[in-house]
A and B are shown apart, each in its own frame.
Chain A
Amino acid sequence: MSVTILLQLVENGLVLGAMYGLIAVGYTMVYGVIQLINFAHGEIFMLGGFGALTVYAWIPGVAHLPLLAALPLMLIGGVAVSVVVAVGAERLAYRPLRTAPRLAPLITAIGLSLALQQVVSLWYRLPGGVNAKGPVSFPSFSGKAFNLGGVLVQPADIFTLAAAAVCMAGLTWFVERTRGGRAIQATAQDPDTARLMGIDTDRMIVLSFAIGAALAAVAAITQGLRYGQISFDMGFVAGLKAFTAAVLGGIGNVRGSMLGGIVLGLVEELSSGVLAHFHTTAQYGQAWADVWAFVLLILVLLVRPQGLLGERVADRA
Chain B
Amino acid sequence: MISGRALLSRSAPLLACLGLLGIWQVAALIINTDSFPTALEAIRAIPSILGDKESLINILASLRRMAIGFGVAVVVSIPLGLMMGRSRAVASFFNPLLMVTYPVPKAALMPIIMLWLGVGDIAKMLVIFLGVSLPVIYHSFQGAKAVEEKMLWSGAAMGLSAAQRMIRIVLPAALPEILTGCRTGLVLALITMVTSEMIARQSGAGNILFNALDMGQYDTVYAMIIIIGAMGIGLDAGFERIRGRLVKWSEPSFDIPLSFA
Partners in one complex: no
